[in-house]
Structure 1
Amino acid sequence: MPDPGPSPQQSSLPGAAARFGAHVLATAQGAGSEAAVATRPALPSLPSVPGAMRPPGAVPVPQEGAAPAWQPDPALARILRGPSGLGTEGLHLARREEPAAPPEPAAPPEPAAPPEPAAPPEPAAPPEPAAPAEPGAPVPGNPIPGLYYHPVPDPDPARVEEVSRRIKAWALDEVELYPEDWEDQFDGFHVGRYMVACHPDAPTIEHLMLATRLMVAENAVDDCYCEDHGGSPIGLGGRLLLAHTALDPLHTTKEYEPEWARSLHSDAPRRAYRSAMEYFVQLATASQADRFRHDMARLHMGYLAEAAWAETEYVPEVWEYLSMRQFNNFRPCPTITDSVGGYELPADLHAQPAMQRVIALASNATTIVNDLYSYTKELASPGRHLNLPVVIAEREGVSVQEAYLKAVEVHNDLMHGFEAEAAALAAACPVPSVLRFLRGVAVWVDGNHYWHQTNTYRYSLPDFW
C-alpha cells in the first residue's frame, strides 16, 4: 500500500477567509480594481489578545455625565458600523418589509432644533410606572449601577406589535403551549420586543419569527422541565433527551418510528420544539440548522449539571458555576443571528477557535446579565436558586451585597473580553460575512440587556446602592 503522505494542514482563519472571500476579490477585479487587489496584503494570522480581560478591581458607579473609564478598541467601531467596501452594500441592515417603513418618516422631526425645547414635557413620563398592571406596555427600568453596557434605541413598534401578535397565535393555536391562567406571564415576557431589539437587521417578520418561536420554545422547556411550572431535577435527563429529538430527529426502524413521532405531540415543550424547528429549517441552511442543534445540546447539558447540583444540594465553586453557565446560557440565540439576518456565516469560519471564543464570551456575559436582573425574582421563588451572586456569597464568604457587586464586575470583565476579541477578529479577518456576524452578535448582546433592563414586569433590582 503506497504511503498516502502527510495529512492536509488544518485550515487557519486566514485560509478559511480566503476561500470564502474569493468572490469578493473576484468582484473587485471585475470592477477594474486589479491593482488594488494585487497589492492588498495577505490576511494576518489572528493575534492573541493577552490581557483582554480587565484585572479584577472594584466596579465604580459612574457619575452622571461621566465618560466610561474603558474605551473599546477602534476596530470594534468598524464592527458596529458593519462591512464596507465594494460589494458589501447589501450586507448592512437589510431593507425591511412594510411594518418597518412607517417609523422612518418620523425621523425628520428629530433633526429640527425647535422640537428640542419640547424636552420639558418629558417629566410627564412618571405616569408610565402604572403600566406593570398591563403586561403589554413596556416600562423603562433603571440599568444596574456600574454595569458596562451599550444603550439601544427602542425597537420598531410596528414590528414589535406584529411579532407579538404572531407569536401568541402560534403559542395558543398551533402548539397549545400554555393554559389560559398563564396568559399574563406570557404577555409580560414581552418576547416580541425582545427579539425585535436583538435582531434589527432581520429582512422580514418571518425571519424574526424564527428566533421568536425558538426563544419561546426554549423557555417552555426550561419552565416545564426545570423550573417554575412543574419542573424538577429528578428524571430531567430523560425528558430533555426525548425533547431534543424534536430538534434532532430520531432515525430508527419503521416499527418504532410512529411511536416516536406521536411522542413529539405529547407535551407542550416537545410540541413547541418540533414546530419551531420545522419553521427554522425552512429558511436556514443545513449547516445553520446543525449548528443550532449542537448549541441546544450544549444548553441541555448545562441544564443537567445544574439539576445534578440541585439533587445533591451542592453549591459549586465560582469557577465551576461559570463553567456550567457557559453551557446553560443564551448561546443558541446569538449564534443564529445570521439565519435571522437572512445570510450565512460559512461553517468553516463559524467553527474557527477565535470565532468560538467571541461567541462564548458574548453568551457568557449575556447570561450573567440574566443572573443580575433576575436576582430578586429568584430569591422570591420557592427553593434555592443558584445564580452568580449567590454562589460568590457562599463560596467566598462575603455579604450578599458584596457578592452582587462582584458579579457585576465579572460581567464587565466578560464584556470587555468579548469586545477585545471581536475587535481582534475583525482586524484579522475583514471578510464581509464575518464583520456582519460579529456586528449581529454585538447587537444581540445589547438588545438582551435592553430587554432585561426594561422588563420591569419580571425584574426589579436589589437595594444595594
Structure 2
Amino acid sequence: MPDPGPSPLQSSLPAAVASFGAHVLASALAVGVEPAVGVEPAAGAGPVEPSPPPPPALPTGPPVLTPVPVPVPDEGAAAAAAAQPSAALERILRGPSGLGTASLHWARSDAPAAPVPAGPAGAPDAPAPAAGHPIPGLYHHPVPEPDPVRVEELSHRIKAWALDEVSLYPEDWEDQFDGFSVGRYMVACHPDAPSIDHLMLATRLMVAENAVDDCYCEDHGGSPVGLGGRLLLAHTALDPLHTTKEYAPDWEASLLSDAPRRAYRSAMEYFLQATTPSQADRFRHDMARLHMGYLAEGAWAQTEYVPEVWEYLAMRQFNNFRPCPTITDSVGGYELPADLHAQPAMQRVIALAGNATTIVNDLYSYTKELASPGRHLNLPVVIAEREGCSDQDAYLKAVEVHNDLMRDFETAAAELALACPVPTVQRFLRGVAVWVDGNHYWHQTNTYRYSLPDFW
C-alpha cells in the first residue's frame, strides 16, 4: 500500500472559517500554542505575544499528589521505538507525509526508521522494544514508550479509585483490571497532559465506559435484552435528570445501585469540576452517540442479524472510541472553543479518528472474540459473511478498510490545519492524532488481552 499522497490544497472549510476573525485568533493565542509551520495568522490579527498560563488546578480528592513533569520527546525515541520485524511495514515508519501533517504529530519522528544498533546487553540507554507485534500491513505510527513513572502512578491511582471510591469490581476480577493496563493506555494517548490529575480525568471515564460495556453488553452478565433501559438510566449519571422533588430521591439513589452507574457518576463529577460547561456537554453528546451504537449492536444480536458491511461501519461510527479523543483538550488543560469544535470539518476529523481506532480494536480483538461464547460482530466477520470470502481474505480486507480510514483522517486533519490556523485548532488536531497513535500502541502491546490470527 503506498503512502498517503499530499492533501488537496483546496480546503473543505468555508472561506469564512479559513480567515477566522482577528479577535478569535488573538484570543486563542493566549493559550501559547504556536500555529503550524508555514501557516500565517489571519489577516489583521496583529502581533500577539503568547504567554501561556500555568495549567489549571484540578480537584483531585485524596490523595493529593505532586504533578509529574510532562516528558519531553527525545529526537530519536520514536525511531527507536519504531523498529519492527516485518519489512512490509517499513513504509509506514516514516509517519504521515501529506501536506500539513508535520504540525500534527509532535511525538512522531520525521526521519526514516533505521535499525537500532546492537549494544551491550542491559545497556541503560538501549530502549526496550514494544511488546507484541503490529498487524502486518496496518498503517500506523509507532510512538515512544510512555513515561514509566507516570504509568505507575496513574495505575496506582485509578485502581484506588475503582476499589475505594466506586467499588467497581469484585476481587476475582482484579487480574482482568490489571491486565487492561489502562494507565499505560492513557499515558500513551495523552503525552501532553500537564499532570496526573489531568490524566485521571480521561482514565476514570475510560474505566467507567468499559464497566458499562462489560456489565451491560458483554463479558460480565451483559445482554441485549433490556439493554436500552439500562443504558438510559446509566446515561442519567452523565446527563442529570431534572424531575420533581417527589421523585428526585429515587433517581439519586439509583446512581449508586450498580457498579457502572457508580463509576459514571463519580467520573463525571470529577470531569465537571475540571472542565467548562461546553466541554462537558460535548462529552455527553458523544456518550449518547456511543450508547446508541450499543443499542444497534444489541438489536442485531437479539434478532441474529448480520448487517451489510456499510451498515456495520455505520454502527461502528457510533459504537466507537469517539468520546476519548474528543476530550483531548480537557486532558491537555485547555479548551477548543465550542464553535470551532462544531465545525463540520472538525467533526469529520474526529469521526474518522474514532472510526479508524475502532477498526484497530476489531482487528486486534478478533481472535479473543472468536474464542468467546456466542457470535461477536466485528468487521472481518461481517465481511466474510456478506462478501462470501475466506476468514483470511476478510481480515486482510478489513486491514485495508482501516488504512483507507487512516488516510482520510490524516488528509482531513491536514486540510483543516492549513485552513484554520487558530492555535487551539492546531493543538487539538495534534492531540487527536497522538491519541490515534497511542490507541494503536496499547492494542499492539496488550498481549494479556490480544493475539493475532495466523494469516501471514
Residue 179 of structure 2 corresponds to which residue in structure 1?
188
Question: Superposition RMSD on alpha carbons, in Å?
Answer: 2.7
Question: 1:40, 1:81 → 2: CA distance?
Answer: 29
Could you tell me whether the CA contact under 8 Å between 1:72 and 1:419 is conserved in 2? Answer: no
- Matching of residues 95-174 of structure 1 within 5 Å: 118=119, 140-174=131-165
Aligned with residue 216 of structure 1, among 192, 207, 210: 207
**Unpaired runs of 5+ in structure 1?**
1-9, 29-35, 43-60, 83-114, 129-137
Residue 335 of structure 1 corresponds to which residue in structure 2?
326
Deviation, 1:71, is 5.1
- Determine if the alignment matches structure 1 residue 21 to structure 2 residue 33: no
Aligned with residue 458 of structure 1, among 449, 452, 455: 449
Could you tell me whether the CA contact under 8 Å between 1:426 and 1:435 is conserved in 2? Answer: yes
Residue 102 of structure 1 corresponds to which residue in structure 2?
none
Question: 1:19, 1:384 → 2: CA distance?
Answer: 55
Question: 1:416, 1:332 → 2: CA distance?
Answer: 21
Deviation, 1:27, is 12
Residue 356 of structure 1 corresponds to which residue in structure 2?
347
3-state DSSP class of the match of 1:201? Answer: coil
Residue 254 of structure 2 corresponds to which residue in structure 1?
263
Change (3 A) 1:327 1:67: closer
- Determine if the alignment matches structure 1 residue 254 to structure 2 residue 245: yes
Deviation, 1:67, is 6.3
Kindly provide the CA deviation profile for residues 259-311 of structure 1, in whole angstroms up to 9, marking residues without a partner as x.
00000000000000000000001111110000000000000000000000001
Question: 1:427, 1:187 → 2: CA distance?
Answer: 42
3-state DSSP class of the match of 1:272? Answer: helix
Deviation, 1:78, is 1.6
- Determine if the alignment matches structure 1 residue 76 to structure 2 residue 101: yes
Q: Which amino acid aligns with 2:205?
A: L
Q: Which amino acid aligns with 1:319?
A: W
Aligned with residue 385 of structure 2, among 380, 384, 394: 394
Deviation, 1:404, is 0.1
Could you tell me whether the CA contact under 8 Å between 2:41 and 2:422 is conserved in 1? Answer: no
Question: 1:245, 1:81 → 2: CA distance?
Answer: 38
Change (3 A) 1:432 1:26: closer
Could you tell me whether the CA contact under 8 Å between 1:188 and 1:457 is conserved in 2? Answer: yes
Change (3 A) 1:141 1:262: same
Could you tell me whether the CA contact under 8 Å between 2:225 and 2:302 is conserved in 1? Answer: yes
Residue 315 of structure 1 corresponds to which residue in structure 2?
306
Change (3 A) 1:318 1:70: farther
Could you tell me whether the CA contact under 8 Å between 1:62 and 1:68 is conserved in 2? Answer: no
Q: Which amino acid aligns with 1:22?
A: A
Aligned with residue 436 of structure 1, among 423, 427, 431: 427
Q: Which amino acid aligns with 1:434?
A: V
Change (3 A) 1:12 1:223: farther
Change (3 A) 1:17 1:458: farther
Kindly provide the CA deviation profile for residues 324-347 of structure 1, in whole angstroms up to 9, marking residues without a partner as x.
000000000000000000000000
Kindly provide the CA deviation profile for residues 182-216 of structure 1, in whole angstroms up to 9, marking residues without a partner as x.
00000000000000000001001100000000000
Deviation, 1:22, is 3.1
3-state DSSP class of the match of 1:80? Answer: coil
Could you tell me whether the CA contact under 8 Å between 2:138 and 2:403 is conserved in 1? Answer: yes
Kindly provide the CA deviation profile for residues 159-187 of structure 1, in whole angstroms up to 9, marking residues without a partner as x.
00010000000000100000000000000
Deviation, 1:64, is 6.5
Deviation, 1:15, is 6.0
**Unpaired runs of 5+ in structure 2?**
1-13, 33-39, 47-85, 108-115
- Determine if the alignment matches structure 1 residue 244 to structure 2 residue 245: no
Deviation, 1:72, is 2.5
Could you tell me whether the CA contact under 8 Å between 1:20 and 1:346 is conserved in 2? Answer: no
Residue 287 of structure 2 corresponds to which residue in structure 1?
296
Question: 1:337, 1:15 → 2: CA distance?
Answer: 25
Aligned with residue 382 of structure 1, among 348, 365, 373: 373
Aligned with residue 447 of structure 1, among 435, 438, 444: 438
Could you tell me whether the CA contact under 8 Å between 2:25 and 2:42 is conserved in 1? Answer: no
Change (3 A) 1:267 1:199: same
Residue 88 of structure 1 corresponds to which residue in structure 2?
none
Deviation, 1:20, is 2.1
3-state DSSP class of the match of 2:104? Answer: helix
3-state DSSP class of the match of 1:118? Answer: coil
Kindly provide the CA deviation profile for residues 236-255 of structure 1, in whole angstroms up to 9, marking residues without a partner as x.
00000000000000000000
What count of residue pairs does the alignment treat as equivalent? 386
Deviation, 1:38, is 9.2
Change (3 A) 1:433 1:156: same
Question: 1:269, 1:256 → 2: CA distance?
Answer: 22
Deviation, 1:120, is 5.6
Could you tell me whether the CA contact under 8 Å between 2:234 and 2:260 is conserved in 1? Answer: yes
Could you tell me whether the CA contact under 8 Å between 2:19 and 2:42 is conserved in 1? Answer: no
Question: 2:44, 2:23 → 1: CA distance?
Answer: 16
Residue 53 of structure 1 corresponds to which residue in structure 2?
none
Could you tell me whether the CA contact under 8 Å between 1:139 and 1:455 is conserved in 2? Answer: no
3-state DSSP class of the match of 1:21? Answer: helix
- Determine if the alignment matches structure 1 residue 344 to structure 2 residue 338: no
Q: Which amino acid aligns with 1:75?
A: G
Question: 1:26, 1:139 → 2: CA distance?
Answer: 38
Deviation, 1:66, is 5.2
Residue 426 of structure 1 corresponds to which residue in structure 2?
417
Identical aligned residues as a percent: 77
Deviation, 1:14, is 3.3
Residue 200 of structure 1 corresponds to which residue in structure 2?
191
Kindly provide the CA deviation profile for residues 123-149 of structure 1, in whole angstroms up to 9, marking residues without a partner as x.
xx9xx9xxxxxxxxx970000000000
Q: Which amino acid aligns with 2:440?
A: H
Q: Which amino acid aligns with 1:77?
A: A
3-state DSSP class of the match of 2:88? Answer: coil
Residue 88 of structure 2 corresponds to which residue in structure 1?
63
Question: 2:378, 2:222 → 1: CA distance?
Answer: 17
Question: 2:215, 2:280 → 1: CA distance?
Answer: 24
Kindly provide the CA deviation profile for residues 64-91 of structure 1, in whole angstroms up to 9, marking residues without a partner as x.
6556799521301022249xxxxxxxxx
Change (3 A) 1:69 1:391: farther
